[in-house]
Structure 1
Amino acid sequence: MNLHQLRFIREAVRHNFSLTEAAKALFTSQPGVSKAIIELEEELGFQVFKRHGKRIKGLTPPGELVYQACERVLAEMENIRRVGEEFASRDSGRLTVAVTHTQARYVLPQAVAVFRKRFPKVKLVLLQGTPEQLADWVRKDQADLAVATEALANEPDLITFPCYDWGHVAIASRKGSELTPFLSGSGTNSPGRKIALTDLADMNLITYEKHFAGRKKIDAAFERAGLTVDVVLEAIDADVIKTYVGLGLGVGIIAEVAFDADKDSELVAVPVDHLFGRNTSRIALRQGVFMRTLMYEFIEIFAPMLTPKMIDRVLGGGAAYDI
Protein backbone atom coordinates (compact mmCIF):
# COMPACT_ATOMS: atom_id res chain seq x y z
CA MET A 1 0.00 0.00 0.00
CA ASN A 2 1.31 3.46 -0.87
CA LEU A 3 0.18 7.09 -0.96
CA HIS A 4 -0.28 7.05 -4.73
CA GLN A 5 -2.95 4.35 -4.37
CA LEU A 6 -4.73 6.38 -1.70
CA ARG A 7 -4.70 9.45 -3.96
CA PHE A 8 -6.08 7.40 -6.85
CA ILE A 9 -9.01 6.22 -4.71
CA ARG A 10 -9.75 9.73 -3.48
CA GLU A 11 -9.64 11.30 -6.94
CA ALA A 12 -11.78 8.53 -8.43
CA VAL A 13 -14.50 9.34 -5.89
CA ARG A 14 -14.09 13.09 -6.35
CA HIS A 15 -14.45 12.73 -10.13
CA ASN A 16 -17.67 10.72 -9.95
CA PHE A 17 -15.87 7.37 -10.40
CA SER A 18 -14.29 8.34 -13.71
CA LEU A 19 -10.77 6.91 -13.74
CA THR A 20 -10.02 8.95 -16.87
CA GLU A 21 -10.81 12.22 -15.06
CA ALA A 22 -8.98 11.06 -11.93
CA ALA A 23 -5.89 10.31 -14.00
CA LYS A 24 -6.06 13.78 -15.62
CA ALA A 25 -6.29 15.43 -12.19
CA LEU A 26 -3.18 13.54 -11.05
CA PHE A 27 -1.28 13.98 -14.34
CA THR A 28 -0.94 10.26 -14.93
CA SER A 29 -2.45 7.58 -17.16
CA GLN A 30 -5.84 5.91 -16.77
CA PRO A 31 -4.40 2.36 -17.10
CA GLY A 32 -1.88 3.18 -14.38
CA VAL A 33 -4.65 4.32 -12.02
CA SER A 34 -6.74 1.25 -12.77
CA LYS A 35 -3.79 -1.11 -12.20
CA ALA A 36 -2.83 0.55 -8.90
CA ILE A 37 -6.39 0.29 -7.56
CA ILE A 38 -6.65 -3.39 -8.53
CA GLU A 39 -3.31 -4.10 -6.82
CA LEU A 40 -4.55 -2.38 -3.64
CA GLU A 41 -7.80 -4.39 -3.70
CA GLU A 42 -5.79 -7.60 -4.06
CA GLU A 43 -3.66 -6.59 -1.07
CA LEU A 44 -6.74 -5.76 1.02
CA GLY A 45 -8.61 -8.90 0.00
CA PHE A 46 -11.84 -7.15 -1.04
CA GLN A 47 -13.15 -4.78 -3.69
CA VAL A 48 -13.09 -1.08 -2.90
CA PHE A 49 -15.25 -0.19 -5.90
CA LYS A 50 -18.45 -1.65 -7.31
CA ARG A 51 -17.99 -2.55 -10.99
CA HIS A 52 -20.14 -3.07 -14.04
CA GLY A 53 -17.89 -4.62 -16.63
CA LYS A 54 -14.79 -2.45 -16.82
CA ARG A 55 -16.53 0.61 -15.37
CA ILE A 56 -16.67 1.46 -11.68
CA LYS A 57 -20.05 2.57 -10.39
CA GLY A 58 -19.50 3.38 -6.73
CA LEU A 59 -17.96 2.27 -3.45
CA THR A 60 -18.60 -1.06 -1.75
CA PRO A 61 -19.48 -0.92 2.00
CA PRO A 62 -15.86 -1.67 3.05
CA GLY A 63 -14.75 0.65 0.24
CA GLU A 64 -16.60 3.50 1.98
CA LEU A 65 -14.45 2.93 5.07
CA VAL A 66 -11.30 2.79 2.96
CA TYR A 67 -12.22 6.05 1.23
CA GLN A 68 -12.84 7.80 4.58
CA ALA A 69 -9.46 6.56 5.81
CA CYS A 70 -7.83 7.84 2.60
CA GLU A 71 -9.29 11.29 3.20
CA ARG A 72 -7.95 11.34 6.77
CA VAL A 73 -4.47 10.11 5.83
CA LEU A 74 -4.10 12.52 2.91
CA ALA A 75 -5.41 15.41 5.00
CA GLU A 76 -2.72 14.70 7.59
CA MET A 77 -0.11 14.53 4.81
CA GLU A 78 -1.27 17.99 3.73
CA ASN A 79 -0.90 19.17 7.32
CA ILE A 80 2.68 17.88 7.39
CA ARG A 81 3.39 19.89 4.24
CA ARG A 82 1.88 22.96 5.89
CA VAL A 83 4.06 22.45 8.98
CA GLY A 84 7.11 22.45 6.72
CA GLU A 85 5.97 25.64 5.01
CA GLU A 86 5.25 27.28 8.34
CA PHE A 87 8.71 26.78 9.79
CA ALA A 88 10.66 27.18 6.56
CA SER A 89 9.20 30.62 5.76
CA ARG A 90 7.03 32.14 8.46
CA ASP A 91 6.74 35.56 6.80
CA SER A 92 6.61 34.48 3.16
CA GLY A 93 4.99 31.77 1.07
CA ARG A 94 1.46 31.71 -0.28
CA LEU A 95 -2.02 32.18 1.18
CA THR A 96 -5.10 31.27 -0.87
CA VAL A 97 -8.47 32.72 0.14
CA ALA A 98 -11.63 31.56 -1.63
CA VAL A 99 -14.29 34.27 -1.86
CA THR A 100 -17.47 35.27 -3.65
CA HIS A 101 -17.39 38.38 -5.83
CA THR A 102 -19.22 40.53 -3.26
CA GLN A 103 -16.69 39.68 -0.55
CA ALA A 104 -13.71 40.27 -2.86
CA ARG A 105 -15.02 43.55 -4.27
CA TYR A 106 -16.61 45.25 -1.27
CA VAL A 107 -15.61 43.56 1.99
CA LEU A 108 -12.04 42.27 1.77
CA PRO A 109 -10.04 45.15 0.17
CA GLN A 110 -9.15 46.86 3.46
CA ALA A 111 -8.10 43.59 5.11
CA VAL A 112 -6.08 42.61 2.04
CA ALA A 113 -4.29 45.98 2.06
CA VAL A 114 -3.36 45.61 5.74
CA PHE A 115 -2.22 42.01 5.24
CA ARG A 116 -0.07 42.91 2.21
CA LYS A 117 1.59 45.73 4.14
CA ARG A 118 2.32 43.40 7.06
CA PHE A 119 3.51 40.50 4.87
CA PRO A 120 4.89 41.98 1.63
CA LYS A 121 6.69 38.74 0.67
CA VAL A 122 3.54 36.61 0.83
CA LYS A 123 1.76 35.78 -2.41
CA LEU A 124 -1.95 36.28 -1.70
CA VAL A 125 -4.36 34.53 -4.07
CA LEU A 126 -8.10 35.25 -4.18
CA LEU A 127 -10.12 32.46 -5.80
CA GLN A 128 -13.62 33.62 -6.78
CA GLY A 129 -16.55 31.26 -7.23
CA THR A 130 -19.91 30.14 -5.94
CA PRO A 131 -20.25 29.29 -2.24
CA GLU A 132 -20.41 25.61 -3.20
CA GLN A 133 -17.14 25.92 -5.14
CA LEU A 134 -15.53 27.74 -2.21
CA ALA A 135 -16.46 24.91 0.17
CA ASP A 136 -15.07 22.35 -2.26
CA TRP A 137 -11.76 24.23 -2.65
CA VAL A 138 -11.27 24.36 1.12
CA ARG A 139 -12.25 20.71 1.48
CA LYS A 140 -9.68 19.71 -1.16
CA ASP A 141 -6.94 22.00 0.28
CA GLN A 142 -6.99 24.12 -2.86
CA ALA A 143 -7.73 27.12 -0.60
CA ASP A 144 -6.60 27.80 2.96
CA LEU A 145 -9.90 29.37 3.96
CA ALA A 146 -13.12 30.70 2.46
CA VAL A 147 -15.30 33.76 3.05
CA ALA A 148 -18.93 33.69 1.95
CA THR A 149 -22.50 33.98 3.16
CA GLU A 150 -24.51 31.08 1.75
CA ALA A 151 -23.84 27.36 2.05
CA LEU A 152 -20.69 27.34 4.20
CA ALA A 153 -22.53 26.82 7.50
CA ASN A 154 -24.23 23.73 6.04
CA GLU A 155 -21.01 21.90 5.13
CA PRO A 156 -20.50 19.14 7.77
CA ASP A 157 -16.77 18.73 7.12
CA LEU A 158 -15.98 22.44 7.46
CA ILE A 159 -15.68 24.56 10.60
CA THR A 160 -17.23 28.00 10.12
CA PHE A 161 -16.98 31.21 12.11
CA PRO A 162 -19.52 34.04 11.73
CA CYS A 163 -17.71 37.33 11.24
CA TYR A 164 -20.26 40.02 10.34
CA ASP A 165 -23.89 40.45 9.35
CA TRP A 166 -25.41 42.53 6.58
CA GLY A 167 -28.68 43.31 4.85
CA HIS A 168 -30.00 44.29 1.42
CA VAL A 169 -31.04 47.61 -0.10
CA ALA A 170 -33.35 48.27 -3.02
CA ILE A 171 -31.83 50.65 -5.57
CA ALA A 172 -33.21 52.58 -8.53
CA SER A 173 -32.16 55.28 -10.97
CA ARG A 174 -32.44 58.74 -9.42
CA LYS A 175 -34.25 59.99 -12.54
CA GLY A 176 -37.92 59.02 -12.43
CA SER A 177 -37.22 56.72 -9.51
CA GLU A 178 -39.74 54.03 -8.65
CA LEU A 179 -38.48 54.34 -5.07
CA THR A 180 -39.43 58.01 -4.62
CA PRO A 181 -42.41 57.27 -2.29
CA PHE A 182 -40.07 55.42 0.06
CA LEU A 183 -37.27 57.99 0.27
CA SER A 184 -36.80 60.18 3.31
CA GLY A 185 -37.96 63.71 2.51
CA SER A 186 -39.22 62.68 -0.91
CA GLY A 187 -40.76 65.96 -2.03
CA THR A 188 -42.10 66.73 1.44
CA ASN A 189 -40.78 66.76 4.97
CA SER A 190 -42.11 63.22 5.54
CA PRO A 191 -39.69 60.35 6.12
CA GLY A 192 -41.23 58.34 3.28
CA ARG A 193 -43.27 55.22 3.87
CA LYS A 194 -41.71 51.83 4.47
CA ILE A 195 -41.44 49.75 1.32
CA ALA A 196 -43.43 46.50 1.29
CA LEU A 197 -43.04 43.21 -0.55
CA THR A 198 -46.16 44.03 -2.57
CA ASP A 199 -44.47 47.23 -3.77
CA LEU A 200 -41.42 45.33 -5.00
CA ALA A 201 -43.59 42.61 -6.56
CA ASP A 202 -45.08 45.27 -8.87
CA MET A 203 -41.64 46.29 -10.15
CA ASN A 204 -39.18 44.78 -12.62
CA LEU A 205 -36.42 43.43 -10.37
CA ILE A 206 -32.69 43.02 -11.02
CA THR A 207 -30.79 41.02 -8.42
CA TYR A 208 -28.26 38.31 -7.74
CA GLU A 209 -28.11 34.87 -9.29
CA LYS A 210 -29.66 32.30 -6.93
CA HIS A 211 -26.36 31.10 -5.43
CA PHE A 212 -25.13 34.54 -4.36
CA ALA A 213 -25.51 37.25 -1.75
CA GLY A 214 -28.66 36.20 0.07
CA ARG A 215 -30.78 35.54 -3.03
CA LYS A 216 -32.37 32.51 -1.35
CA LYS A 217 -33.74 34.74 1.42
CA ILE A 218 -35.18 37.13 -1.15
CA ASP A 219 -36.97 34.32 -3.00
CA ALA A 220 -38.19 32.77 0.27
CA ALA A 221 -39.74 36.05 1.45
CA PHE A 222 -41.80 36.45 -1.73
CA GLU A 223 -42.79 32.79 -1.68
CA ARG A 224 -44.03 33.00 1.92
CA ALA A 225 -46.12 36.02 0.97
CA GLY A 226 -47.58 34.19 -2.03
CA LEU A 227 -46.20 36.80 -4.43
CA THR A 228 -44.92 36.22 -7.95
CA VAL A 229 -42.10 38.54 -8.96
CA ASP A 230 -40.59 39.46 -12.31
CA VAL A 231 -36.80 39.15 -12.06
CA VAL A 232 -35.76 40.55 -15.43
CA LEU A 233 -32.02 40.16 -14.92
CA GLU A 234 -29.75 38.11 -12.64
CA ALA A 235 -26.01 38.64 -12.05
CA ILE A 236 -23.28 37.57 -9.64
CA ASP A 237 -21.82 41.07 -9.58
CA ALA A 238 -23.43 44.05 -7.82
CA ASP A 239 -21.63 46.43 -10.20
CA VAL A 240 -23.43 44.77 -13.11
CA ILE A 241 -26.76 45.10 -11.30
CA LYS A 242 -26.10 48.79 -10.63
CA THR A 243 -25.20 49.40 -14.27
CA TYR A 244 -28.52 48.05 -15.57
CA VAL A 245 -30.49 49.75 -12.81
CA GLY A 246 -28.85 53.00 -13.89
CA LEU A 247 -30.12 52.38 -17.42
CA GLY A 248 -33.67 52.28 -16.05
CA LEU A 249 -34.27 48.57 -16.68
CA GLY A 250 -35.64 47.93 -13.21
CA VAL A 251 -35.18 48.13 -9.45
CA GLY A 252 -32.14 46.36 -8.04
CA ILE A 253 -31.78 44.44 -4.80
CA ILE A 254 -28.13 44.30 -3.69
CA ALA A 255 -26.04 43.88 -0.55
CA GLU A 256 -25.91 47.07 1.48
CA VAL A 257 -22.07 46.96 1.43
CA ALA A 258 -22.21 47.31 -2.36
CA PHE A 259 -23.97 50.70 -2.29
CA ASP A 260 -21.99 53.89 -1.74
CA ALA A 261 -24.11 57.05 -1.72
CA ASP A 262 -21.20 59.18 -2.98
CA LYS A 263 -19.90 56.86 -5.70
CA ASP A 264 -23.38 55.76 -6.74
CA SER A 265 -24.79 59.29 -6.86
CA GLU A 266 -26.97 58.51 -9.89
CA LEU A 267 -28.86 55.93 -7.84
CA VAL A 268 -31.10 56.05 -4.77
CA ALA A 269 -31.46 53.32 -2.16
CA VAL A 270 -33.88 52.27 0.54
CA PRO A 271 -33.25 49.57 3.18
CA VAL A 272 -35.18 46.31 2.90
CA ASP A 273 -33.89 44.45 5.99
CA HIS A 274 -37.43 44.31 7.33
CA LEU A 275 -38.45 42.29 4.26
CA PHE A 276 -35.55 39.88 3.79
CA GLY A 277 -33.80 39.78 7.17
CA ARG A 278 -30.09 39.94 7.89
CA ASN A 279 -27.41 37.66 6.47
CA THR A 280 -24.27 36.34 8.16
CA SER A 281 -20.95 36.06 6.35
CA ARG A 282 -18.65 33.29 7.57
CA ILE A 283 -15.06 32.19 7.41
CA ALA A 284 -14.67 28.46 6.72
CA LEU A 285 -11.77 26.12 7.52
CA ARG A 286 -11.34 22.42 6.86
CA GLN A 287 -11.78 20.21 9.89
CA GLY A 288 -8.39 19.08 11.17
CA VAL A 289 -6.44 21.67 9.18
CA PHE A 290 -3.02 22.75 10.44
CA MET A 291 -3.31 26.48 11.10
CA ARG A 292 -0.37 28.43 9.73
CA THR A 293 0.54 31.81 11.21
CA LEU A 294 -0.49 33.49 7.95
CA MET A 295 -3.99 32.04 8.29
CA TYR A 296 -4.37 33.29 11.87
CA GLU A 297 -3.08 36.72 10.84
CA PHE A 298 -5.39 37.13 7.86
CA ILE A 299 -8.45 36.02 9.83
CA GLU A 300 -7.69 38.35 12.75
CA ILE A 301 -7.15 41.31 10.41
CA PHE A 302 -10.46 40.64 8.67
CA ALA A 303 -12.45 39.68 11.79
CA PRO A 304 -10.62 40.89 14.93
CA MET A 305 -12.98 39.02 17.25
CA LEU A 306 -11.66 35.71 15.86
CA THR A 307 -8.46 35.40 17.85
CA PRO A 308 -6.06 32.43 17.48
CA LYS A 309 -7.12 31.21 20.93
CA MET A 310 -10.79 31.21 19.94
CA ILE A 311 -10.11 29.52 16.62
CA ASP A 312 -8.05 26.79 18.29
CA ARG A 313 -10.79 26.20 20.86
CA VAL A 314 -13.44 25.68 18.18
CA LEU A 315 -11.18 23.57 15.94
CA GLY A 316 -10.36 21.46 18.98
CA GLY A 317 -14.03 20.60 19.51
CA GLY A 318 -14.97 23.42 21.88
CA ALA A 319 -18.23 25.38 21.77
CA ALA A 320 -18.92 27.12 18.45
CA TYR A 321 -18.46 30.88 18.27
CA ASP A 322 -21.48 33.01 17.40
CA ILE A 323 -22.11 36.72 16.97
Structure 2
Amino acid sequence: MTITQLRVFVQIAETGSFTKAGQALNMTQPAVSHAISALESELGIKLIIRERRNGVRLTDTGGKILVHIREVLKGIEKAEQLAAAERGLEQGTIHIGTFPAASAYFIPKLISMFKKRYPKLELVLHEGTVNEVKEWLRSRVIDVGITLFPTEDMEYLPLKKDKMAVVLRNDHPLCSCESITLKDLDRQPMIICDGGYESPFIDMFKEAGSVLTAAFTVYNVNTSISMIK
Protein backbone atom coordinates (compact mmCIF):
# COMPACT_ATOMS: atom_id res chain seq x y z
CA MET A 1 0.00 0.00 0.00
CA THR A 2 1.55 3.30 -1.10
CA ILE A 3 0.76 6.94 -0.41
CA THR A 4 0.04 7.43 -4.12
CA GLN A 5 -2.58 4.67 -4.07
CA LEU A 6 -4.28 6.25 -1.07
CA ARG A 7 -4.29 9.70 -2.68
CA VAL A 8 -5.70 8.29 -5.90
CA PHE A 9 -8.50 6.57 -3.99
CA VAL A 10 -9.44 9.78 -2.15
CA GLN A 11 -9.39 11.84 -5.37
CA ILE A 12 -11.68 9.37 -7.14
CA ALA A 13 -14.06 9.44 -4.18
CA GLU A 14 -14.14 13.25 -4.17
CA THR A 15 -14.34 13.81 -7.95
CA GLY A 16 -16.38 10.72 -8.87
CA SER A 17 -14.14 10.17 -11.87
CA PHE A 18 -10.93 8.32 -12.73
CA THR A 19 -10.15 10.96 -15.36
CA LYS A 20 -10.61 13.93 -13.02
CA ALA A 21 -8.61 12.19 -10.32
CA GLY A 22 -5.76 11.70 -12.78
CA GLN A 23 -5.88 15.35 -13.82
CA ALA A 24 -5.76 16.49 -10.18
CA LEU A 25 -2.75 14.27 -9.48
CA ASN A 26 -1.03 14.72 -12.87
CA MET A 27 -1.39 11.00 -13.63
CA THR A 28 -2.63 9.18 -16.72
CA GLN A 29 -5.92 7.28 -16.48
CA PRO A 30 -4.18 3.88 -16.89
CA ALA A 31 -1.89 4.80 -13.97
CA VAL A 32 -4.92 5.74 -11.86
CA SER A 33 -6.67 2.46 -12.71
CA HIS A 34 -3.51 0.49 -11.91
CA ALA A 35 -3.17 2.24 -8.51
CA ILE A 36 -6.75 1.36 -7.55
CA SER A 37 -6.41 -2.23 -8.78
CA ALA A 38 -3.22 -2.66 -6.75
CA LEU A 39 -4.86 -1.19 -3.65
CA GLU A 40 -7.94 -3.41 -3.98
CA SER A 41 -5.74 -6.44 -4.59
CA GLU A 42 -3.66 -5.77 -1.48
CA LEU A 43 -6.74 -5.24 0.71
CA GLY A 44 -8.54 -8.18 -0.89
CA ILE A 45 -11.82 -6.26 -1.31
CA LYS A 46 -13.64 -4.12 -3.86
CA LEU A 47 -13.49 -0.40 -3.07
CA ILE A 48 -14.93 1.21 -6.19
CA ILE A 49 -17.71 0.21 -8.59
CA ARG A 50 -17.93 1.59 -12.13
CA GLU A 51 -21.42 1.97 -13.56
CA ARG A 52 -22.34 3.11 -17.06
CA ARG A 53 -25.25 5.27 -15.92
CA ASN A 54 -24.06 6.56 -12.55
CA GLY A 55 -20.32 6.61 -13.22
CA VAL A 56 -18.12 5.78 -10.23
CA ARG A 57 -19.32 5.02 -6.71
CA LEU A 58 -17.76 3.58 -3.58
CA THR A 59 -18.80 0.26 -2.12
CA ASP A 60 -20.19 0.33 1.43
CA THR A 61 -16.84 -0.88 2.77
CA GLY A 62 -15.01 1.57 0.51
CA GLY A 63 -16.95 4.45 2.05
CA LYS A 64 -16.02 3.34 5.55
CA ILE A 65 -12.37 2.88 4.62
CA LEU A 66 -12.31 6.33 2.98
CA VAL A 67 -12.65 8.02 6.39
CA HIS A 68 -9.61 6.17 7.73
CA ILE A 69 -7.54 6.76 4.60
CA ARG A 70 -8.23 10.48 4.81
CA GLU A 71 -7.05 10.38 8.40
CA VAL A 72 -3.87 8.53 7.38
CA LEU A 73 -3.13 11.06 4.63
CA LYS A 74 -3.71 13.98 6.98
CA GLY A 75 -1.29 12.37 9.42
CA ILE A 76 1.31 12.05 6.67
CA GLU A 77 0.71 15.67 5.68
CA LYS A 78 1.16 16.80 9.29
CA ALA A 79 4.45 14.90 9.44
CA GLU A 80 5.59 16.58 6.23
CA GLN A 81 4.60 19.97 7.64
CA LEU A 82 6.55 19.34 10.85
CA ALA A 83 9.60 18.32 8.84
CA ALA A 84 9.25 21.43 6.69
CA ALA A 85 8.91 23.61 9.81
CA GLU A 86 12.09 22.06 11.20
CA ARG A 87 13.84 23.17 8.01
CA GLY A 88 12.39 26.65 8.44
CA LEU A 89 9.78 26.16 5.73
CA GLU A 90 6.08 26.36 6.67
CA GLN A 91 4.22 24.53 3.93
CA GLY A 92 1.24 22.24 3.34
CA THR A 93 -2.49 22.43 2.73
CA ILE A 94 -5.28 23.35 5.14
CA HIS A 95 -8.88 22.51 4.22
CA ILE A 96 -11.43 24.90 5.71
CA GLY A 97 -15.19 24.33 5.74
CA THR A 98 -17.56 27.27 6.05
CA PHE A 99 -21.08 28.48 5.26
CA PRO A 100 -21.79 31.51 2.99
CA ALA A 101 -22.26 34.22 5.64
CA ALA A 102 -19.10 33.16 7.48
CA SER A 103 -17.21 33.04 4.18
CA ALA A 104 -17.98 36.68 3.52
CA TYR A 105 -17.08 37.78 7.06
CA PHE A 106 -14.11 35.64 8.14
CA ILE A 107 -12.44 34.13 5.07
CA PRO A 108 -11.04 37.25 3.31
CA LYS A 109 -9.29 38.34 6.54
CA LEU A 110 -8.09 34.81 7.20
CA ILE A 111 -6.60 34.39 3.74
CA SER A 112 -4.89 37.77 3.93
CA MET A 113 -3.33 36.92 7.31
CA PHE A 114 -2.19 33.47 6.22
CA LYS A 115 -0.63 34.64 2.97
CA LYS A 116 1.46 37.20 4.83
CA ARG A 117 2.56 34.88 7.64
CA TYR A 118 2.73 31.56 5.76
CA PRO A 119 3.23 32.24 2.05
CA LYS A 120 3.81 28.54 1.27
CA LEU A 121 0.67 27.31 3.03
CA GLU A 122 -2.26 26.59 0.73
CA LEU A 123 -5.83 27.16 1.90
CA VAL A 124 -8.61 25.15 0.26
CA LEU A 125 -12.18 26.32 0.95
CA HIS A 126 -15.24 24.06 1.11
CA GLU A 127 -18.51 26.02 1.25
CA GLY A 128 -21.81 24.44 2.26
CA THR A 129 -24.47 24.43 4.95
CA VAL A 130 -23.66 24.27 8.67
CA ASN A 131 -24.70 20.62 8.74
CA GLU A 132 -22.45 19.84 5.76
CA VAL A 133 -19.50 21.50 7.50
CA LYS A 134 -20.08 19.30 10.57
CA GLU A 135 -20.26 16.19 8.41
CA TRP A 136 -17.05 17.17 6.58
CA LEU A 137 -15.34 17.46 9.96
CA ARG A 138 -16.53 14.01 11.03
CA SER A 139 -15.48 12.40 7.73
CA ARG A 140 -12.09 14.21 7.74
CA VAL A 141 -12.75 16.06 4.47
CA ILE A 142 -11.68 19.31 6.17
CA ASP A 143 -9.19 20.19 8.90
CA VAL A 144 -11.23 22.96 10.50
CA GLY A 145 -14.77 24.24 10.09
CA ILE A 146 -16.70 27.40 10.92
CA THR A 147 -20.19 26.72 12.32
CA LEU A 148 -22.83 28.69 14.23
CA PHE A 149 -23.02 26.98 17.61
CA PRO A 150 -20.68 24.77 19.67
CA THR A 151 -20.93 21.03 19.01
CA GLU A 152 -20.44 18.72 21.98
CA ASP A 153 -18.57 15.99 20.10
CA MET A 154 -16.01 18.42 18.62
CA GLU A 155 -13.39 20.79 19.97
CA TYR A 156 -14.24 24.40 19.27
CA LEU A 157 -12.86 27.90 19.67
CA PRO A 158 -15.29 30.87 19.82
CA LEU A 159 -14.61 33.37 17.03
CA LYS A 160 -17.40 35.90 17.50
CA LYS A 161 -20.47 36.44 19.67
CA ASP A 162 -23.31 38.31 18.06
CA LYS A 163 -26.92 39.26 18.82
CA MET A 164 -29.89 37.73 17.04
CA ALA A 165 -32.03 40.19 15.11
CA VAL A 166 -35.21 40.09 13.08
CA VAL A 167 -35.66 42.45 10.11
CA LEU A 168 -39.11 44.05 9.73
CA ARG A 169 -40.83 46.67 7.62
CA ASN A 170 -41.37 50.01 9.35
CA ASP A 171 -45.13 49.48 9.39
CA HIS A 172 -45.04 45.98 10.94
CA PRO A 173 -46.94 45.71 14.28
CA LEU A 174 -43.88 44.27 16.06
CA CYS A 175 -41.81 47.37 15.24
CA SER A 176 -43.25 49.11 18.30
CA CYS A 177 -41.75 46.44 20.60
CA GLU A 178 -38.47 47.15 22.39
CA SER A 179 -37.49 43.50 21.99
CA ILE A 180 -38.92 40.48 20.18
CA THR A 181 -38.94 36.88 21.39
CA LEU A 182 -39.32 33.69 19.36
CA LYS A 183 -42.78 33.38 20.89
CA ASP A 184 -43.71 36.67 19.21
CA LEU A 185 -42.73 35.14 15.87
CA ASP A 186 -44.84 32.01 16.36
CA ARG A 187 -46.56 31.21 13.03
CA GLN A 188 -45.66 34.64 11.64
CA PRO A 189 -45.09 34.43 7.86
CA MET A 190 -41.34 34.89 7.42
CA ILE A 191 -38.79 35.09 4.65
CA ILE A 192 -36.21 32.45 5.49
CA CYS A 193 -32.67 32.77 4.19
CA ASP A 194 -31.57 29.23 3.35
CA GLY A 195 -27.95 30.34 2.98
CA GLY A 196 -26.33 27.49 4.86
CA TYR A 197 -27.41 28.21 8.44
CA GLU A 198 -31.12 27.53 8.50
CA SER A 199 -31.16 24.40 10.67
CA PRO A 200 -30.10 26.03 13.99
CA PHE A 201 -32.95 28.53 13.72
CA ILE A 202 -35.48 25.76 13.17
CA ASP A 203 -34.20 24.03 16.31
CA MET A 204 -34.33 27.31 18.29
CA PHE A 205 -38.00 27.81 17.36
CA LYS A 206 -38.82 24.25 18.46
CA GLU A 207 -37.09 24.73 21.81
CA ALA A 208 -39.07 27.96 22.35
CA GLY A 209 -42.33 26.15 21.58
CA SER A 210 -42.90 28.24 18.45
CA VAL A 211 -43.55 27.30 14.85
CA LEU A 212 -41.26 28.72 12.19
CA THR A 213 -43.47 29.54 9.20
CA ALA A 214 -41.63 30.07 5.92
CA ALA A 215 -43.74 32.13 3.52
CA PHE A 216 -40.75 32.32 1.17
CA THR A 217 -37.31 30.72 1.16
CA VAL A 218 -34.32 32.41 -0.49
CA TYR A 219 -30.60 31.66 -0.53
CA ASN A 220 -29.08 35.15 -0.55
CA VAL A 221 -29.32 37.55 2.41
CA ASN A 222 -29.58 40.57 0.11
CA THR A 223 -32.55 38.96 -1.64
CA SER A 224 -34.38 38.53 1.66
CA ILE A 225 -33.72 42.18 2.62
CA SER A 226 -35.08 43.38 -0.73
CA MET A 227 -38.21 41.24 -0.35
CA ILE A 228 -38.83 42.61 3.14
CA LYS A 229 -38.65 46.15 1.76
TM-score normalised by structure 2 residue count: 0.65
- The match for 2:172 among 169, 172, 177 is 177
What is the identity, as a one-letter code, of the residue corresponding to 1:161? Y
2:187 matched to 1:201? yes
What is the identity, as a one-letter code, of the residue corresponding to 1:207? I
Higher strand share: 1
Q: How much does 1:82 deviate?
A: 1.6
Change over 3 Å in CA distance of 1:223–1:128 after alignment to 2: same
Q: Which runs of 5+ in 2 are unaligned?
A: none
2:146 is aligned to: 147
Q: How much does 1:168 deviate?
A: 2.2
Partner Cα distance (1:232, 1:226) in 2: 18
**Higher RCO structure (Cα 8 Å, ≥6 apart):** 1
Q: Does the 8 Å CA contact 2:8/2:32 hold for their aligned counterparts?
A: yes
Q: Does the 8 Å CA contact 1:98/1:147 hold for their aligned counterparts?
A: yes
2:8 is aligned to: 8
Q: Does the 8 Å CA contact 1:48/1:66 hold for their aligned counterparts?
A: no
Q: Does the 8 Å CA contact 1:97/1:126 hold for their aligned counterparts?
A: yes
Q: How much does 1:161 deviate?
A: 0.8
What is the identity, as a one-letter code, of the residue corresponding to 1:211? G
SS in 2 for 1:35: helix
- The match for 2:125 among 120, 124, 127 is 127
Partner Cα distance (1:58, 1:94) in 2: 25
Q: How much does 1:179 deviate?
A: 2.4
SS in 1 for 2:37: helix
User: Alignment RMSD, CA only?
Assistant: 4.5
SS in 2 for 1:160: coil
What is the identity, as a one-letter code, of the residue corresponding to 2:125? L
Q: What per-residue deviation string (whole Å, max 9, x for no partner) do you get for residues 118-157 of structure 1? A: 984545958362232586389345xx5332226x838x7x
TM-score normalised by structure 1 residue count: 0.50
Partner Cα distance (2:107, 2:33) in 1: 44
Q: How much does 1:52 deviate?
A: 7.3
SS in 2 for 1:241: helix
Q: Does the 8 Å CA contact 2:202/2:212 hold for their aligned counterparts?
A: no
SS in 2 for 1:172: coil
Change over 3 Å in CA distance of 1:94–1:78 after alignment to 2: closer
Q: Give percent identity, aligned residues only.
A: 14
2:24 matched to 1:28? no
Change over 3 Å in CA distance of 1:24–1:178 after alignment to 2: farther
What is the identity, as a one-letter code, of the residue corresponding to 1:33? V
**Count of residues paired in the alignment:** 219
Partner Cα distance (2:51, 2:98) in 1: 42
2:164 matched to 1:168? yes
Change over 3 Å in CA distance of 1:167–1:8 after alignment to 2: same
- The match for 1:231 among 184, 200, 215 is 215
Partner Cα distance (2:5, 2:223) in 1: 46
Counterpart mapping for 1:185-264 below 5 A: 194-195=180-181, 197=183, 199=185, 201-203=187-189, 205-209=190-194, 211-212=196-197, 215-220=198-203, 222=205, 225=209, 227=211, 229-237=213-221, 239-245=222-228, 247=229
SS in 1 for 2:218: strand
1:261 is aligned to: none
SS in 2 for 1:230: strand
Partner Cα distance (2:76, 2:66) in 1: 15
Q: Does the 8 Å CA contact 2:19/2:29 hold for their aligned counterparts?
A: yes
Q: How much does 1:78 deviate?
A: 0.8
Q: Does the 8 Å CA contact 2:101/2:195 hold for their aligned counterparts?
A: no
Q: What per-residue deviation string (whole Å, max 9, x for no partner) do you get for residues 226-278 of structure 1? A: 746233242343x4433433x2xxxxxxxxxxxxxxxxxxxxxxxxxxxxxxx
Q: Does the 8 Å CA contact 1:206/1:241 hold for their aligned counterparts?
A: yes
2:136 is aligned to: 136
Counterpart mapping for 1:261-276 below 5 A: none
Partner Cα distance (2:124, 2:56) in 1: 36
Change over 3 Å in CA distance of 1:231–1:127 after alignment to 2: farther
Q: Does the 8 Å CA contact 1:93/1:121 hold for their aligned counterparts?
A: no
Q: What per-residue deviation string (whole Å, max 9, x for no partner) do you get for residues 151-178 of structure 1? A: x838x7xx4314155452111133x234
